[in-house]
Amino acid sequence: AQVIERLTDVLQDLAGADGVRAVVLDAAGKSFSAGADLHWMKQAATFSEAENLEDARALSQMLNRLSTLPKPTVALVQGAAFGGGVGLMAACDMVIAVADAAFSLSEIKLGLIPATISPYVIAAIGPRQARRYFLTGERFDAHEARRIGLVHEVVEDAEALAAAGKRMVERLFAAPPGALAEAKDL
C-alpha cells in the first residue's frame, strides 16, 4: 500500500514536471517486482469489502497514472516480475528485459485474480495469451514475454539492460516533448 501511494504521488509530480522528458522504471535490487507483499496480502484477507475496494482503487489509480502519463515510460526488467509487477510493465510504453528475467501472473495460485492489472496486461498481450497466463499462473521467460508482446527487447545481462535503456531514452530525446505527449495520447 505504501509503495502504491508513493508511486502514485511521484507519477503525479512527474506528469507536470517541465524538465522531465521520459520516466524509467528500474529495479534497485535483484527483482523488478515480485508483486504484492505476502504479509500485506494476508492482512488484506481480513479487510472488509470496502477496504479491499479502496486498495484496488489505489492500485488502479496508480496504474492509470503510469499508463496515461504524458511522458514516455520505459520499464527495465531484471529478475522476477510477478503479479502486480507484470501490471507495472504492461502499463509502461516500452519494456526491455534481461534474458534470464522470469514472469508470472501468479495471482491464481493465491486464490486471487489479476483484476486490477488485467486491462493493461490484455492490452499488451491480447485476450488469448492473457487467458492462458491468468488461468495457469505459469512462469515464462523473457523470450516468451517478447513473443507475446509483453516485452519489446531482450538483452543478455544487467550491463546490456542499462545500455539498452540509455539508447531508448536517447531515441525519445530526439523527438520534441509535445509531439511525444501527443503521440502517446493518440
DSSP string, 69-116: -SS-EEEEE-SEEETHHHHHHHHSSEEEEETT-EEE-GGGGGT---TT
State mean pLDDT over 164-169.
98
pLDDT in tens, 10-21: 999 999 999 999
What per-residue confidence (pLDDT) applies to 39? 67
- Interhelix angle 49-68/84-91, nearest 10 degrees: 30
Residue 16 grid coordinates: 507536470
> Active-site residue numbers?
107
Rounded CA gap, 85 and 90, in Å? 9
Residue 97 has pLDDT above 90, yes or no: yes
8, pLDDT greater than 70: yes
Residue 165 to residue 74: CA distance in whole angstroms: 8
Q: Are strands 94-98 and 153-155 parallel, antiparallel or unpaired?
A: parallel
What is the model's pLDDT at position 55? Answer: 85
Q: What is the DSSP letter of 34?
A: -
pLDDT value at residue 110: 85
Residues in the chain: 186
Separation between Cα atoms, residue 63 and residue 39, nearest integer Å: 22
Confidence band for 38, pLDDT divided at 50, 70 and 90:
low
The alpha carbon of residue 169 and the mean position of all alpha carbons in its chain are separated, in whole angstroms, by 17
Is residue 40 very low, low, confident or very high in pLDDT (cuts 50, 70, 90)?
low
* Model pLDDT, residue 111: 86
Q: How far is CA 59 from CA 62, 71, 95, in A?
A: 5, 20, 20
Does the structure show a pLDDT above 70 at 42?
A: no
All residues at 6 or more sequence positions from 170 whose CB lies less than 8 Å from its CB, including other chains:
none
Judge whether 44 and 92 are in contact, CB under 8 Å.
no
The model's pTM: 0.92
The answer, yes or no, to whether residue 43 has pLDDT greater than 80, is no
Q: Across residues 59-88, what is the average pLDDT? A: 96
Q: Label residue 29 by pLDDT band (50, 70, 90).
A: confident
pLDDT at 46: 77
- What are the backbone dihedrals phi and psi of residue 100, each rounded to the nearest 5 degrees, phi first? -90, 15
